[in-house]
Structure 1
Amino acid sequence: MSNMNILIVDDDKTNLSLFSHMLGQVPQTRIDTCADARQALDWCQEHAPDLILLDYMMPGMDGLDFLSRFRAMPGQEMTPVIMITADMGLQVRHTALQMSANDFLSKPVNRVELLARVKNMLAMRRSQLAMSQKIDTLSEQVDQQVRHSDTLALDSVDLLARAAGYRDPETGEHLTRMANYARIIAARMGLDSQQQELLLNAAPMHDIGKMGIPDHILLKPGRLDEEELKVMRMHARIGADILVASPSPLLQTASQIALTHHEKWDGSGYPNGLKGEQIPLYGRIVAVADVFDALTSSRPYKPGWSLERASQYLREQSGAHFDPRCVEAFFAGWEEVLEIFNRYQEGK
């Protein structure tokens, strides 16, 4: 067990010497003294006291003023403080208690009483430190579990994306580009780095529900008829249902995106006909990113649009299909969009 640091603060140097001598009998302690309360505060900034013996009547800064400033220091809310005073008035005691003094000793100090009070306070301090260490250990274990859960969620996303890739003609490059476009929009809209990362990892699951669409519809090279469109549009709800059962924040976000990325700002989208800000923000962001990449991507049944034509379409559909703020954010990050577009091309 490491030594406990005791600080004695008293403007009377005779008292400092006397208290130090008495406390020399307490094992596993290190004793420091200070005759000036302001200097004692400076000492506390550089060291970690486990117990303070504090004189009440001192010139310049008295014990109550010291105690108030000491408690305001980070990490010193619970450090035991024994106040030593010749003033036994109730007002002094009540004020000291309100300011979280832990115990009192009256002058002249009795050696037996001093040793008993100090040992009790040190025992309390050791319990505090042991509990704090246990809490830190538990917190680290929880953090490890969270990190492990996040890793499992990311692994699940990767596995689902791989499984979907065997049925959906969309390429892995499409998913990468689309997710990065979504991150760019989120950043330009002021979302923090954690939200951007969450969106980047969840967005590739937007069309996972296509796993539940029959091949003759999913892989049809030509235009779908009305009945086939009804079936195809079911992929939004299927995807949400696949992902929603997981407690993972990542998969919950992916479920929300799967359900809402085909909703439109003017309320004409599907599956629920949501309008404006009824559509969750992540769904609105992914709608812009997904459509832009779908337009500019070549498929067996269509050539890719030029960047200019696709950009013009986004601007024309701002306020109709798309949230105008998302479109504005997309073009605010245009240089980054071009970098992603050029980096992740099929066949590269």
Structure 2
Amino acid sequence: MSSQRSSKTFLQLKYGEALDTAATKKSITSLLSSHDGTEVIHHCLKEGARWGMSPDSEEPNTLEAVYILSGKLKLHRPNEGSFLEAGDFLAGQPVSEFIVLTALEDSEFLYITSNPVFHYYSSDTRNLEMLAIEIEKKDGYTADHCFRIKELSMLVGEKMELNSESLQKLHFGALLHDIGKTEVPESILLKPAKLDEEEWTIMKEHTRYGATILRKTNITHFILAAEVVEQHHERYDGSGYPKGLRRDEICLEAAIVGLVDSYDAMTSERIYSKARSKESALTEIKQLRGIKYHPEVVDYFLSVIE
């Protein structure tokens, strides 16, 4: 985990807090006790919500522990998945691996940490998230575009049984995939007509801009996600940008986000384009399997979306 406190965990509660239109919160957090830098935090995760921790090489003496109170959670690990139920316990001093827990049913657990984090929970994530939402609205999407990309990408990643490190990378890469558009002039971003060649060249730089923004945070999970942000417009046949990467040169998480983002763009109503039907979008994706899109990712995506 990064030395910045807000990097310690990520929650899926923002969907409920950041958007006025969101129906329910996916997670509820409360501080039970705090003394001399140690905190006991109570988490309630709704079914399908996720929570995670990252290693922190700069805080080698930090103790972190999770004690399951109720429900059932899946712990995503390399080449395997294990399940945690009431009475199960995880601890590390410090945490030495990426940990992602997915609630398979409504669940509760205690998170104990010797480094106070509660009042800093996800402040950096929230700031970047709100910025990403605003930029997507300007670019013609609805406010929940980022969350749709993140949620569908995570469903595909879990279906592919990615480990916790990959899931954290996917989570933040998907959520903040277009954060670099904050560096694109509004005259280009808000242009209702087709961009000319010079404008399109500038627009394509948003992938590099986004990666730079995340790397400058010096927060572990943002640095991890920067590669996804930079590569999510790369295509399997090398026709994408910014580097024209091909096949396995593209990280798997970026291949997932690139496909999901394309599907959402096809099926979204925007200022300069009409929404296509789900069937039409899926037909195009199937036709471009192994051409624009990673074939294995397409197969898993279809198994989720259909």
Deviation at 1:198, TM superposition (A): 4.7
Which residue of structure 2 aligns with residue 334 of structure 1?
A: 305
Does structure 2 retain, via aligned residues, the 8 Å contact 1:243–1:251?
yes
Asked if 1:171 corresponds to 2:95, the answer is no
Once residues 200 and 143 of structure 2 are traced to their aligned partners in structure 1, the CA distance between those partners, rounded to angstroms, is: 24
What is the identity, as a one-letter code, of the residue corresponding to 2:228? I
Corresponding letter in the other structure for 2:63: S
The reply on whether 1:200 has 2:171 as its aligned counterpart is yes
1:302 aligns with 2:226: no
Identity level (%): 34
Name the amino acid aligned to 1:214. P
**In structure 2, how many angstroms separate the alpha carbons of the residues matched to 1:229 and 1:242?**
21
- Give SS of 2:122's match: helix
Determine if the alignment matches structure 1 residue 316 to structure 2 residue 240: no
Q: Secondary structure at the match of 2:144?
A: helix
In 2, the alpha carbon distance for the partners of 1:202 and 1:150 equals 19
Q: Secondary structure at the match of 1:314?
A: helix
Relative contact order: is structure 1 or structure 2 higher (C-alpha 8 Å, sep ≥ 6)? 2
The reply to whether residue 219 of structure 1 matches residue 187 of structure 2 is no
Structure 2 match to 1:186: 157
Q: Secondary structure at the match of 1:322?
A: coil
Q: CA deviation at 1:144?
A: 4.7
Say whether the 8 Å CA contact 1:167–1:211 is kept in structure 2: no
**Could you say which structure has the larger radius of gyration?**
1
Equivalent in the alignment of 1:104: none
The separation in 1 between residues aligned to 2:292 and 2:300, in whole angstroms, is 15
Alignment coverage as a number of residue pairs: 200
Deviation at 1:334, TM superposition (A): 2.1
**SS of the counterpart of 1:187?**
helix
CA distance in 1, matches of 2:116, 2:167: 19
| SS at structure 2 position matched to 1:268 | coil
Change (3 A) 1:147 1:274: farther
Q: Which amino acid aligns with 1:139?
A: L
SS at match of 1:199: helix
Normalising by structure 1, report the TM-score.
0.52
Give the alignment of 1:1-348 within 5 angstroms.
138-140=62-64, 143-145=113-115, 151-165=122-136, 167-192=138-163, 195-196=166-167, 198-335=169-306
> Which SS does the other structure have where 1:175 is aligned?
helix
> Could you tell me how far 1:318 is from its partner in structure 2?
1.1
Unaligned runs of 5+ in 1: 1-136, 336-348
Cα deviation for residue 153 of structure 1 reads 4.2
Structure with the higher fraction of residues in strand conformation: 2
C-alpha distance in 2, partners of 1:282/1:147?
28
Aligned mates of 2:166, 2:158 — CA distance in 1: 9
Alignment-mate amino acid for residue 232 of structure 1: M
Q: Secondary structure at the match of 1:172?
A: coil
List gaps (5 residues or longer) in structure 2.
1-60, 65-92, 95-112
Distance 1:180 1:315 in 2: 21
Query: Distance between the aligned counterparts of 2:121 and 2:241, measured in 1?
Result: 30
TM-score by length of 2: 0.59
Structure 1 residues 208 and 328: CA distance shift in structure 2, 3 A: same
